[in-house]
Amino acid sequence: MSDTNYEKTLDIIFGRWKSQILYAGVTLGIFDCASSYAKSTADIAGELDLDDVLAYRLLRALSSLGFLKEHPDRREFSITPQGELLRKDNPQTLRGVTLLEEGPEHYAIWKHLPAMIKEGKQNAFMREFGYKIFEYRDRNPAYGEVFNQAMSSYSSIQTNWVLDALDKYDFSNIHDICDIGGGIGHLLGNLLIKYPHVSGTVLELKAVISNKKQLLASKLGVSERCSYIDGDMFTNGEIPFADAYIMKMILHDWSDEECVSILSNVYRSSPKHARLFIAEHVVPGPGEIHFSKLFDIHMMCVASGKERNIDEYSSLLQQSGWKYIQTLHSHQQSGLIDVIEGCKL
Ligand SMILES: C[S@@+](CC[C@H](N)C(=O)[O-])C[C@H]1O[C@@H](n2cnc3c(N)ncnc32)[C@H](O)[C@@H]1O
């Protein structure tokens, strides 16, 4: 084995150490306490009520990962641009993603991966907790809060990619848009900011939208054009009439049969001229290194879903009455999700 292969493999083996060190830093509030000027370990530990001997070791490890800078010989630390990404007040914060993906629930489910693959039965969330993820979330408000924060945290990056992918799209005939499973409204709110002639509706489960303080429409200044409907995307008659429908990170949560059921329901509820936009990680061909191939395993653990390639999305559309039109890509270099457009046959 070459040295590079050896190093790459070791880096993967110890990957979880890194993400757990980061998780500890985020959970303890290190990044909201640290500052661009150097602060002593004693001050940080004092403000956060931590043991300063063990806190020093965590701060040093976080510095080794590039999130903090350790100042020579003085046991002082300042935050780096990479560390800024974990602050609560950063508009593009990755704090929520860290808290969800390395938190106790998601940590616990991965151990079921080998058994699932042996037995051909996915959904480690069910194995570990006895509930599907959204039921578990709605029964556990603390997890629910972390889940919603994480969705907004993911959205703080993904929304830009979706807006970018749709940038050249002609919105002149779209006057209302429904974001199905739109969470607290990050994507829809930003679409409404960009297209002032459009109004919109977020269709979501009651548990997500009942906490009015969390909803983003008023914070984004679009509350007059944005409404929230408590509804179930699987249930006939609960999808509102709109010129266009968007679903971001929805279909990857569900099996093919469940996706056909959702898409058929949207088909039945929508006008003839309706357009459908599906924003997802799209799996590229063999040999191409892509995050979607890892996210797919995460989906195997958390739910009944999976990541799909274009042909698979096109087939789901076809099975539910829709016609595949095109796939729109973000031109931003880091854009990891695409937007698939469908129309009615
Ligand atoms: C992976 S999250 C994506 C949220 C949002 N679209 C985003 O990209 O941030 C999936 C969303 O689907 C919602 N959801 C799950 N089952 C649903 C149902 N039956 N009807 C409506 N929404 C549902 C969940 O509450 C959750 O907010």
**Following DSSP, what letter does each residue of 254-298 receive, concatenated?**
S-HHHHHHHHHHHHHHS-TT-EEEEEE-B---TT---THHHHHHH
C-alpha of residue 79 to centroid of ligand 1, in Å: 34
C-alpha of residue 40 to centroid of ligand 1, in Å: 43
Burial class from Cβ neighbours inside 10 Å (0-12, 13-18, 19+) for residue 240 reads middle
Whole-angstrom distance, CA of residue 262 vs CA of residue 249: 13
pLDDT of residue 150: 93
pLDDT of residue 345: 75
C-alpha of residue 181 to centroid of ligand 1, in Å: 4
3-class SS of residue 168: coil
Ligand 1 pocket test, pick from 151, 152, 338 with the greatest ligand atom count within 8 Å of Cβ, gives 151
pLDDT of residue 20: 98
C-alpha of residue 251 to centroid of ligand 1, in Å: 9
The residue whose two tokens read 């971001």 is 248
Ligand 1 pocket test, pick from 106, 249, 298, 307 with the greatest ligand atom count within 8 Å of Cβ, gives 249
Whole-angstrom distance, CA of residue 43 vs CA of residue 53: 12
C-alpha of residue 204 to centroid of ligand 1, in Å: 6
Return the ligand 1 atom nearest residue 182 CA.
6
pLDDT of residue 62: 98
Return the ligand 1 atom nearest residue 186 CA.
9
Spell out, as residue ranges, where the chain has pLDDT lower than 70.
1, 333
pLDDT of residue 74: 76
Ligand 1 pocket test, pick from 131, 136, 253 with the greatest ligand atom count within 8 Å of Cβ, gives 253
Rounded to the nearest angstrom, the gap between the alpha carbon of residue 9 and the centroid of all alpha carbons in its chain is 27
> Please, where in the chain does CATH 1.10.10.10 lie?
3-87
Domain range 3-87, its CATH number among 3.40.50.720, 3.40.50.2300, 1.10.10.10, 2.60.40.10? 1.10.10.10
pLDDT of residue 213: 87
Q: Are strands 338-344 and 275-280 parallel, antiparallel or unpaired?
A: antiparallel
pLDDT of residue 241: 96
C-alpha of residue 81 to centroid of ligand 1, in Å: 31
Whole-angstrom distance, CA of residue 280 vs CA of residue 5: 31
Provide CB contacts within 8 A for 196, sequence distance 6+. none
Fold for the domain defined by 100-344: Rossmann fold (3.40.50)
Q: Are strands 176-180 and 199-204 parallel, antiparallel or unpaired?
A: parallel
Measuring from atom 9 of ligand 1, which residue has the nearest CA?
Answer: 151
Return the ligand 1 atom nearest residue 234 CA.
19
> Please, where in the chain does CATH 3.40.50.150 lie?
100-344
pLDDT of residue 333: 66
Whole-angstrom distance, CA of residue 45 vs CA of residue 56: 8
Return the ligand 1 atom nearest residue 238 CA.
20
Closest CA to 239 of 206, 209, 202, 284: 202
C-alpha of residue 248 to centroid of ligand 1, in Å: 9
- Which pTM was predicted? 0.93
C-alpha of residue 4 to centroid of ligand 1, in Å: 41
The residue whose two tokens read 């008659």 is 237
pLDDT of residue 1: 58
pLDDT of residue 51: 98
Q: Do residues 77 and 69 lie in contact, with contact meaning Cβ atoms separated by under 8 Å?
A: yes
Closest CA to 147 of 130, 132, 164: 132
Ligand 1 pocket test, pick from 97, 101, 134 with the greatest ligand atom count within 8 Å of Cβ, gives 134
Q: Do residues 265 and 274 lie in contact, with contact meaning Cβ atoms separated by under 8 Å?
A: no
CB-defined site of ligand 1, < 6 Å: 134, 151, 154-155, 181-183, 203-205, 208, 232-234, 248-250, 253
3-class SS of residue 150: helix
DSSP state for residue 210 in the 8-state scheme: S
Ligand 1 pocket test, pick from 205, 206, 264, 269 with the greatest ligand atom count within 8 Å of Cβ, gives 205
Closest CA to 207 of 130, 147, 129, 278: 147
